A and B are shown apart, each in its own frame.
Chain A
Amino acid sequence: GESVGLHLPTLSVQEGDNSIINCAYSNSASDYFIWYKQESGKGPQFIIDIRSNMDKRQGQRVTVLLNKTVKHLSLQIAATQPGDSAVYFCAENIILYSGGGADGLTFGKGTHLIIQP
C-alpha cells in the first residue's frame, strides 16, 4: 500500500474561510515532507516543505504542521481564495539507491480543494 495518503478526496470551503488538508504517512524514518499544488492541466507546483526536526513552518498564507508522534501532516491555507482551487498532494521523501543515490518522493493520491463563492 501507499506510505502517504490523504484523509479526504474532496474538500469544499467557502471563499475567505481557512482550509485544512490532512495527510498521513507510515514511514517513521521519513525526514522531509513537501506539499504540492496542482491546478488543472498543469504540473505540480511546490508550496511548502518541512523537515522532521520541525513541527511547524509558515509561508505566505500557508502553514504546514508535522506531528511525528501520530505520523500526520497538515496544510493550512488562510483566507482561501478562488485561485486556491486545485488538487493538493503531500509527498514524503525517500532515498533512491543507485550508483550515486538520489532523493525521491512518494506521493499521496491528493485532495481536491473546491472554493465556493
Chain B
Amino acid sequence: NAGVTQTPKFQVLKTGQSMTLQCAQDMNHNSMYWYRQDPGMGLRLIYYSASEGTTDKGEVPNGYNVSRLNKREFSLRLESAAPSQTSVYFCASSAGGKQFFGPGTRLTVL
C-alpha cells in the first residue's frame, strides 16, 4: 500500500496563477482532509470531505476550493495564488479518528 500520495512535491507560482494539488489514498478511507503548515505552526485545516460526494470548509478555507473526485482522490485548487498561500500542504485520510498523512507539497508563491 502506498498510503497517501501527493503531487507535486514542490511548486513555485507567480501571484495570480492557478494550480491544483492532487491527493490520493489507497486505504479505502471515507474521510479526507487538506491542511496547511506554516513555519513554527501546527497544521490548520483548510477543507475536508467526510465521504465521497461531500466537502466542507475547515478553519482556513479562503482562497481555496476542493473536489472529491471519487473515494480515492481529493484535490485542492488555488484559483488565484497569493504570497500568503506560501506554505506546505498536507493531505490526510482517516479511519476511526486516526489520520494518515501524505508527504506534503511545498508551495511558494512569488
Contact = CB atoms under 8 A, between A and B. Distances in A.
Contacts of A34: 97-99
A42 B101 CA distance: 9
A49 B42 contact: no
A50 to B, nearest CB: 11
Interface stretch (B11-19, B50-58, B73-81): B50-58
A10 to B, nearest CB: 11
B100 interface: yes
Interface in A73-89: 89
Contacts, number: 74
Given A4-B42, A96-B48, A99-B50, 20 more contacts: A32-B97, A36-B101, A43-B4, A43-B90, A43-B101, A43-B102, A49-B98, A96-B56, A98-B48, A98-B50, A100-B50, A100-B51, A102-B30, A102-B51, A102-B56, A102-B94, A103-B96, A104-B48, A107-B43, A109-B40
Name which of A32, A43, A100, A102 has the most chain B CB atoms within 10 A of its CB: A43
Q: Which 8 A-B pairs have the closest CB atoms?
A: A107-B42, A102-B50, A43-B101, A98-B56, A103-B97, A100-B50, A102-B31, A107-B43
Interface residues on B, range: 20 to 34
B33 A104 contact: yes
Given A44-B90, A107-B42, A109-B42, A98 B101 contact: no
A46 B51 contact: no
A93 B97 contact: yes
Contact of A101 (B50, B98, B100): B50
B101 A45 contact: yes
Interface of A: 2, 4, 9, 32, 34, 36, 41-46, 49, 89, 91, 93, 96, 98-105, 107-110
A98 B33 CA distance: 13
A110 to B, nearest CB: 6
Contacts of B58: 96, 104
Contacts of A2: 42
